[in-house]
Amino acid sequence: MKNDTTILPFRQSGSIADPLTELAREGARRMLAEALKKPRRQMMRITQIQA
């Protein structure tokens, strides 16, 4: 009798599956950081103009 059990490797939530995934994640982090900085810069400019 053959045992057809499939065993999948355990991956931790922070582990990287492959280099392309890490590259995509790093790019997304940078884009998000820039997107969050932009409104702050705009608010600082508005505050300086009103002062």
pLDDT digits (tens, 9 = 90+) for 6-49: 877 776 666 667 889 889 999 999 999 988 888 888 888 888 87
Q: Please say if the pLDDT value at position 1 is more than 60.
A: no
pLDDT, position 5:
76
- Kindly compute the dihedral angle of the four CA atoms of residues 25, 27, 28, 31, in this order, to the nearest 10 degrees: 160
